[in-house]
Structures are given as structure tokens and as C-alpha cells.
Chain A
Amino acid sequence: MHRVLGDRRAIMILLGPALLVYTLIMLVPTVWSLGYSFTKGNSIDGFTGNGLANFTRLFSDQAVHDALWFTVKYAVLVTVGQVIAGYLLALLYVFFLKKASALIRTLVFFPVVLPTVAVGLLFQKFFQVAPQTGPVNSLLNTFGLESVDFFGSAGSAFWVLVSMDIWRSMGFYAVLLFAGLVDIPDEVLESARLDGASGPRLIRHIVLPLSLPVLMSSLIFSINGTLKVFDSVVALTNGGPGTGTTPLTLYMFQTSFTYSEYGYGSTIALLLTVVCLLVSLAVYRVSRRDITEG
């Protein structure tokens, strides 16, 4: 094995095709898109140089500020929600349901395999007020409360979106974290129990520190996914009402493909890339420090 991996040609043959494909479908478009950031025009009229105009516009564009704020707000809330709900579920599987958790695990995981569009439609019907009153509004009416047009204002539509995405993906994080929790040696837990640690203390001082690496991985996974949210927003609200639930990704898509401003769209994409990179770096640094301390 060592001889094979020591041979440069062998490495090239093994890595070459994958690298070539990666370069062609990832790196080339990324660099290409970066190039577009300095242009204006579209596929009909052609592209011309635009200097740094797209970047100055990016800083003064209120729609970008709103979309960025929405993205950050959404990413933080959904990440925290997904990971906490997933962790609580994982604890439930390991410490309470134990071997009987298989059925619950499958049921909670089920929304993960559903297409996002189907989940979006489901939640639309669930929270709708017209043409038919949805189950949530029916419930409110039963308690004598007025129906709420959840998709009529940006605030309520945001909360429906957040709850939908937490519900949709908590099963995935529960399974991921469950795998981390079952890795904790029984002897460690047993000795902690003998020392008198139980319930919340056991979780706080033993389970949490030992499952920190997988918890951090979940956080990185989740924050990167939620910063790039697109499909669930399109399926549920399509960015509305107005632009009330428009994240950066959707604004970038609309700018490029609906308004044909490919140059400015690429600049927004660059902003999103930088945000993702910074957040990943920050989370990675924090996690590395914690692990070494733990």
C-alpha cells in the first residue's frame, strides 16, 4: 500500500479524475462567477466590465441588508432549534426509550425523507386561512380566538417557516447526535452514577462534554445548511409577503435569473460565500478550543 501511495503517478491516477470533475463543476464556476461580479449585462446583450460598481451597490442596497438580516436571523434560530430539538430527542432515545426507540426514531426521521415542496405545501394547508380554514386556525377558532392570516405578515410567516424547518430536520440531527451519545462508554456513565451524578447533573457534567465533538459537527452542518436556505422558503412563502421572507439565496436567484442582472447576482453570491466561510471558521475555532479543553 505504502509503495502504491508513494508513487506520484499512482496518486495522480487515483486523484486525477475526481480532481478534474471537482475543478470543472466547482472551482471553474466559482471563479467564473467571481469574474461576473465585475461585469454588467445579460446573455442577450452580452457582458461588459463594470468595475467595482456591483460592490458599491451591494453596500447601499437596502434589499441586501434586509435579506442578510433575514438569513442570519433564520440561520441562528433554526440551527439552535434543530440542534437542541435533535439533542433532546437523542437523549430521549438513549436514556428513556433505550432499546424501544427504533419506532420513534423512524417516525421522527420520516419528515427528512419527504420532499421539501411536499412539506411546504403541507404547512401552507396547515396554517392557511383561505380558501379553507386550516387546522391551526380551526383550533384557534375552537378556543374562541380569531383566525390569523399567518402568511399575510412577514413576522408570522417567518415563525411558520422556522417551525417547519425545525420539524423537518430535527429527526436528522436526532439520529446524528444519537450516534454520538451511544459512543459514550457505559463504564463512564456507570461510574458517574456511582459517584452520585444523575439526571441533569449527569447530562451537564458527563454526557454534554463527551458528546461535544458530534454536537459541534451538527452545529457546523446546520448553520451552513440554514445560511443557504432556498427550497423551503420558495415552497412555503416564495419570499413573501412582499420581500418579508426573502433570504440572500432567493434574492440572488431573483436578481440573476428573474431580473437578468447576472453581475450583481454574482456579487450577492460572493457575499453569501464569505458569510458561510466566516461562520464556518468561527464555529470551527470555537469547537477546536473546546475539545482541547475538554
Chain B
Amino acid sequence: MPHRMIRARRTRLTLLSAGVTSLALLASACGGGGTSAAPKEFKYLSVTENTTTRTALTKLSKGSCKAENDTLPLKVETVPQASLDQKLQLLAGQDALPAQFAAGNAPALTKQLAESGKVANLDLELERLGVFDDLEPAAVSTIKALYDGKVQTLPYEYNIEGIFYNKKIFKEKGIEVPGTWDELIAASDKLNNERVQPFAASGQQGWPITRLISGYLYRSLGPGALDDVNTGLAQLTEPEYVKAAEEIAALGKKGYFGKGVGSIDYDTAMNQFLTGKSAMFYMGSWALANISDPKQNKVGADNVGFMPFPAVTGGAGSADQYPSNVGLAVTLGSKNFDKKTDAWVRCIAKNYGSTALKDHGSISGFKVNTPVKDANEVTTTVRKTISSSQQNVLWFEAFFSTKATTASQTNAAGLVTGSVSPKQFMETVQSALKSK
């Protein structure tokens, strides 16, 4: 009897210790991530596809910001752009967001993070550090337009968008820079007849095509066209919105984007333009880095011109309203914003603009405090356009949820190859916008 009792007690003890161990294991597995200790590194979570920002920051860490880097070393981590939102959500859930991170693919995610107090209030922080004036006013206004009137991201890039064109091809074919949509169509017809592919565009990415739709909408309906969709005043399925999709689909139907546009990725489209295989390329000013690189640009930077998206005759918008964005926006976590981080942010605000322009030919939203000579004429044109632009507009998906952004970008290739009708396209996007 006592022997049995001892055995039973031993079994209970074994079971109890096994249970405690399991619980401890579970607790340690679930509890990973968030720490409240002061950061030992200035962590920057970026996307794999963007090399400019992290290279420029690394350069700063060895140059102008060396002292800051010695105190708090910069550490860059990357994640593929497609997995960024998921990664940010998981890190936010564990309260483990790094000091700096690429903002989500849709501004909606950053707004959500800000509402839950995970993102630093940069209006206040930059003012406190005395560096708010180191931001270009145009970049501040774009960020505010995107993030409900607040500065929630740092403008490591500041881009305007328009159509880059091959001056040599235009001259050879006797084409003037088109000022209206009809002239652009006429120029494309002529190029196509002369066996030159009018446009290079990545259907795989989708957004280079949807940017054309928003370009047309801003010119035909005015700068508030997509604000109205955001606020529910208008729907994408209304005839004047569908008309924009029809115009872009018509370009695709005539084969102006070339063969298999759905399989063309970003780099291939860029390469098509920079090797003279296509005459025009709708893109943001970040492409200046590629245009300025002689290894990539076989047509020569002097042969590249920049024009705004043309006006639509009788439309409410005008060609000098450039679409603008802050590229891959980078934001700062509210946690761990200590003195060492302060020093880093101050140094970045003072020096990033010059470094990015000088070493990468990339225009940022920080002021260029050390004068830099432009690499080529097209860079000068774009910089002048930025500083003189009075009113900017955003892009097609700027106010969309992640779901609507995905619906828009994955159906864009179908729109220009004809597998999705313009009406179907707008219906799909509108329905993704509605579903919450």
C-alpha cells in the first residue's frame, strides 16, 4: 500500500513537472519580441527591392554620421516588399517594431499603427530636434496629404511622376512633345506605325499601368478625382471614371505596351526604355538613378527628356499638377526614441539630402544642405519642376486599402491585354474598396 502511494505521488509529480515545463515553454515562446531595454542598435527594417535608402544610410554611418553610428550602430534588415505588411503587423503585435522601418505598402497600415501609438509623431519630434525646416515643404505637403494632415514618415525619397521620353527617337520620327492626351495618342500611333514600341510598362507590377489611369482621371476630373472616391462622393464605376480605364485599355489593345506586358517586370520595363526599345516610360523621378547610370542607360542621359502627364482637352485638371509621392516611406517607431536615436535623426535630416543626390542621383524630401552639381540635364529639369510645382496630386491607390491596392495592381495587366474589360476592372476595384 505505501509503495503504491509513493508510486502514485511520483506519477503526479512527473505529470506536474511536465505540465509546468510545457507552460514555461509556451510562455517563453509567446513572450519573445518586445523588450523595454534601451536599444543597442539603430535598426532599420527596409524592403529588399529598395537599395538606395539603405546604401545612403550606410554611407552616412561611415561619413557625416560616424559619431552617431559609433554610439548607436546602424543595423539594416530587409524583407521582400510583398511580405512587408505582414512582418510589420506581427512585429507591432509583439511590440517589437524597430527604430526605423519601411512604412506599409498601403498608407492605411501606417495610419493604423499611428492610431495604436506605435509610430512616432514626427511633427513634434522633428520640431523638438530643431530639424523640421530641413524637410522640403513640398515633401511635407505630400506626406500630410497621405497621412490625414500629419507627418508620419521621413521623406527619404521625394518623387514626382511623369513621362520620360527618348529625345532621339522623338526627333528622328519628327514628333513634338505632346501637350494633350490626343497628341499623346497621335504620337503613339505614329511611333507604332514606324515600328517603335510607344510605351514600356511593367504589367507584373501593375502600378505603372494604374498610374496612367489616375493620371487621366486627374486631368479629366481635376485634382479631387480620387479624394471623392475616398470620401464616397464618387464611385469608380461611374462612367467618367470608367472612361479613364477605357482610354488606357485602348492603348493596350493597340499593342502600345508591347508583347506579354503582364510578364514584364519592373527591371525589364526600365531596360526596354534605357536601351531604346521603347520611346516613352511613365515613371517617378526615382528612375533618375537608373537614367544617370551609364551602365544601365544605353541611350545616354542627354537623350532622355521628362514631360508631365498631358492635359485632357476640356478636363478640369491641368498638366502642371504633378503626381508626387515619398517613394518607399520610412517611419520611426514611437518606442526607443531616446537621445542616441535623436542624434541619428538630427544627423540624417541635415545630411541625407546631399548624400542621396550626390552619390545616388536620387532626390529626397530633405533639403540639400551641401550644394551638389546635377548629374545631367534631366535631373535639373526634374529638380526645377519639383521646386516650382504649385499643386501636387497623388496616385491611383494612395487612399486604397491593401485589398483594393492588390485588386487594382493584379488586374492592371488584364486591363491592357483585354482579359478584363474597363468596366469589370473598375467594378473589381470598387468592390474591394467596399469590403472591409
Q: Residues of A with Cβ closer than 8 Å to B?
A: 9, 20, 24, 42-45, 124, 128-131, 147, 149, 151-154, 239-244, 254, 257-260
Q: CB < 8 Å: which of A128, A130, A240, A260 contacts B85?
A: A260
> B58 an interface residue at 8 Å Cβ cutoff?
no
Q: List 22 A-B contacts (CB under 8 A).
A: A24-B26, A42-B93, A43-B89, A44-B89, A45-B116, A124-B263, A128-B260, A130-B260, A130-B261, A130-B268, A131-B263, A131-B264, A131-B271, A149-B259, A149-B263, A149-B417, A239-B410, A241-B410, A242-B411, A258-B85, A259-B406, A260-B109
- B86 close to A258 (CB less than 8 A): yes
- B413 close to A241 (CB less than 8 A): yes
> Nearest 4 A-B pairs (CB), nearest first?
A43-B93, A130-B260, A129-B260, A242-B411
Q: Which residues of A contact B411 (CB under 8 A)?
A: 241-242
> B142 an interface residue at 8 Å Cβ cutoff?
no
Q: Which residues of B contact A44 (CB under 8 A)?
A: 89, 92-93, 112-113, 116, 118
- B419 close to A154 (CB less than 8 A): yes
Q: Which residues of B contact A153 (CB under 8 A)?
A: 414, 417, 419
Q: CB < 8 Å: which of B85, B263, B401 contacts A129?
A: B263
Q: CB < 8 Å: which of B89, B90, B410, B417 contacts A152?
A: B417
Q: CB < 8 Å: which of A9, A147, A260 contacts B11?
A: A9
Q: Which residue of the partner chain A has the closest CB to B82?
A: A258
Question: Which residues of chain B in 88-112 are interfacial with respect to chain A, using CB atoms and an 8 Å cutoff?
Answer: 89-90, 92-93, 109, 112
> B262 an interface residue at 8 Å Cβ cutoff?
yes
A135 → B minimal CB distance (Å):
15
- B406 close to A258 (CB less than 8 A): yes
Q: Which residue of the partner chain B has the closest CB to A130?
A: B260
B407 → A minimal CB distance (Å):
8
Please give the number of chain B residues whose Cβ is less than 8 angstroms from any Cβ of chain A in the complex: 37
Q: Which residues of B contact A259 (CB under 8 A)?
A: 401-403, 406
- A242 close to B263 (CB less than 8 A): no
- A130 close to B263 (CB less than 8 A): yes
Q: Which residue of the partner chain A has the closest CB to B265?
A: A131
Q: Could you tell me the distance between the alpha carbons of A24 and B19 in the complex, rounded to whole angstroms?
A: 12
Q: Which residues of A contact B26 (CB under 8 A)?
A: 24
- A149 close to B402 (CB less than 8 A): no
Main secondary structure, interface of A, reads loop
> B22 an interface residue at 8 Å Cβ cutoff?
yes
> B258 an interface residue at 8 Å Cβ cutoff?
yes
> B180 an interface residue at 8 Å Cβ cutoff?
no
A237 → B minimal CB distance (Å):
10
Q: Which residues of A contact B417 (CB under 8 A)?
A: 149, 152-153, 241
Q: Which residue of the partner chain A has the closest CB to B406?
A: A258
Q: Could you tell me the distance between the alpha carbons of A20 and B19 in the complex, rounded to whole angstroms?
A: 10
> B392 an interface residue at 8 Å Cβ cutoff?
no
Q: Could you tell me the distance between the alpha carbons of A257 and B83 in the complex, rounded to whole angstroms?
A: 9
Q: Which residue of the partner chain B has the closest CB to A254?
A: B406
> B420 an interface residue at 8 Å Cβ cutoff?
yes
Known pairs A129-B263, A130-B260, A147-B259 / 4 extra A-B pairs, C-beta < 8 Å: A131-B260, A240-B413, A257-B86, A259-B406
Q: Which among A242, A244, A260 has the greatest number of chain B C-beta atoms within 10 A?
A: A242
Q: Which residues of B contact A42 (CB under 8 A)?
A: 89, 93
Question: Which residues of chain B in 107-140 are interfacial with respect to chain A, using CB atoms and an 8 Å cutoff?
Answer: 109, 112-113, 116, 118
Q: Which residue of the partner chain A has the closest CB to B404?
A: A259
Q: Could you tell me the distance between the alpha carbons of A72 and B93 in the complex, rounded to whole angstroms?
A: 35
Q: Which among B259, B261, B264 has the greatest number of chain A C-beta atoms within 10 A?
A: B259
Q: Could you tell me the distance between the alpha carbons of A128 and B402 in the complex, rounded to whole angstroms?
A: 29
Q: Which residue of the partner chain A has the closest CB to B105?
A: A258
> B385 an interface residue at 8 Å Cβ cutoff?
no
- B89 close to A241 (CB less than 8 A): no
B210 → A minimal CB distance (Å):
13
A34 → B minimal CB distance (Å):
19
- A243 close to B410 (CB less than 8 A): yes
Q: Which residues of B contact A128 (CB under 8 A)?
A: 260, 263
Q: Which residues of B contact A9 (CB under 8 A)?
A: 11
Contact with A along B2-20 (1 / 0, CB 8 A): 0000000001000000100
Q: Which residues of B contact A244 (CB under 8 A)?
A: 414, 419
Q: Which among A131, A149, A151, A239 has the greatest number of chain B C-beta atoms within 10 A?
A: A131
Q: Which residues of B contact A129 (CB under 8 A)?
A: 259-260, 263
Q: Which residues of B contact A151 (CB under 8 A)?
A: 260, 262-263
